[in-house]
Amino acid sequence: MKRSALLVGVLLPAVALSSTILPHTLAQRFAASDRVALVQVLSRVTEPQADGKNLKTYTRLLVGEDLKGSGPREVTLVQLGGRSGATEAFVPGDADFSVGETALVFLHCRTPERCFLVALGEGKVAIDGGDAVVHDLFTGAFSKKPLKALKRELLEGARKPEHAR
């Protein structure tokens, strides 16, 4: 009995830690997503929760193109935190959105209309003109890549068998 309790005591923190590790590459984020879409931000609203302390931000997204999955043309992205009056709370590493901006988003959707970002802030790739602003998690560097090339790369990677990636 002591041995199994010790094993659980040792393994439980490792399991908890491993569940917080982000998918590193865009291909891994793509694979972990229910839906990957090119979107435009329509609106953004932060509301206090019933306890009056915790905040949630709801961002309405208009889907222009689905790269993976499908669903309604408008979805609501739910994020913890935000700004409401004098109250502010933010999740470190989460994405920020501005009304009118275009982005490629990697989503996990609990319902077709209500989604969360895969890998927090890394679930958003900003679009600047015809280029995607890609963050390399290994080096920390940002670079621009033509959006067409990024879409092609993601779609071709998804078609490869798992052992070939």
Boundaries of every domain in the chain:
24-158
Name which residue leads in pLDDT, 138 or 2. 138
C-alpha separations of 103 from 73, 97, 145, 153 in Å: 15, 9, 13, 17
To the nearest whole percent, how much of the chain has pLDDT over 90? 65
**Which pLDDT value is given to residue 19?**
41
Nearest residue to 46 via CA among 96, 76, 79, 82: 82
Q: What global pTM score does this model have?
A: 0.81
Q: Average pLDDT of the chain?
A: 84
**Which pLDDT value is given to residue 22?**
58
Strands 74-84 and 114-117, bridge-based pairing: parallel
**Which pLDDT value is given to residue 21?**
55
Name which residue leads in pLDDT, 155 or 162. 155
Q: Are 122 and 22 in contact (CB under 8 A)?
A: yes
What average pLDDT does the segment 88-103 reach? Answer: 94
Fold adopted by 24-158: OB fold (Dihydrolipoamide Acetyltransferase, E2P) (2.40.50)
